[in-house]
Amino acid sequence: MQIEIYQIDAFAEQVFKGNPAAVCPLNAWIADELLQNIAQSNNLSETAFFVPYHDKFQLRWFTPSHEVDLCGHATLAAAHVLFTHLDYQKSVICFTTKSGDLLVTKRVEGLEMDFPASMPKPVIAPDNLLLGLDIKPKAVLAAFDYIIELEDELAVAALSPDLALWKTLELRGVVVTAPGRNVDFVSRCFFPKLNVDEDPVTGSAHCELAPYWAQILGKNSLTAKQLSARTGLIGCQIQGDRVLLTGSAVDYMRGKISF
């Protein structure tokens, strides 16, 4: 059996930037064990699989070790494959996922993803969260990740956490954030529990970050930058209980998987 595979740099305007994701279009679902084996062999933070479903597409995301409920950059990559390589003619794609229906709209400025917002709330920090830090946080919050706010962008860039301690935490991962110098806010995202020590650009984390910073800064339209080695820019727009995330994507590689 052979299936096509694309490797896409998401939230990027040139290769070697943004967040790489693998995308595998399928005509029908194959065994979950095979999906996980493919993701493990790809060894990227996410591999996306989608299947046509009436006028929509069923979409699932796998890290090298787990299936996850929501992934922004691999959704962007999947939409890019449909628009660029699979001759999808409409301007809006509807993906059916574990997090509900997700819409991706083709805009002049990039691909706009409509995701559910999740407002972080202050929490008492677990011991291992604080022990894993090498700096005192300004605030600790949680949604589906722990959110650590630091004083400024330089502190986020310089952070060197003890990821072994963070691997034991209850939530999905740890997102560190601060006000930006040339953007509204910056972040770095760590998911050692999912065998992804630091994710280059994490769309789903901005479902938590954008509502928080919109409230702090008093504005609903924000620009964000993730300070990984590859870096990436994300446009964020708050609309009620939804977050519109906009970014670009570029091809890195195309091939076939044989098994």
Active-site positions read: 46
- C-alpha atoms less than 13 angstroms from C-alpha of 132 in its C-beta half-sphere: 23
Kindly give, in sequence order, each residue whose CB lies less than 8 Å from that of residue 15, ignoring residues fewer than 6 positions away: 9, 250, 251, 252
30: three-class secondary structure by DSSP: coil
Work out whether strand 232-239 and strand 242-247 pair parallel, antiparallel, or are unpaired: antiparallel
Q: Letter for the amino acid at 49?
A: F
Residue ranges of E strands in the chain: 2-10, 19-25, 47-53, 56-62, 67-68, 92-97, 100-107, 110-116, 121-122, 139-142, 146-149, 174-179, 185-191, 196-199, 221-226, 232-239, 242-247, 249-258
Largest CA distance in the chain: 53
| Bridge partner list, 103 | 94, 114
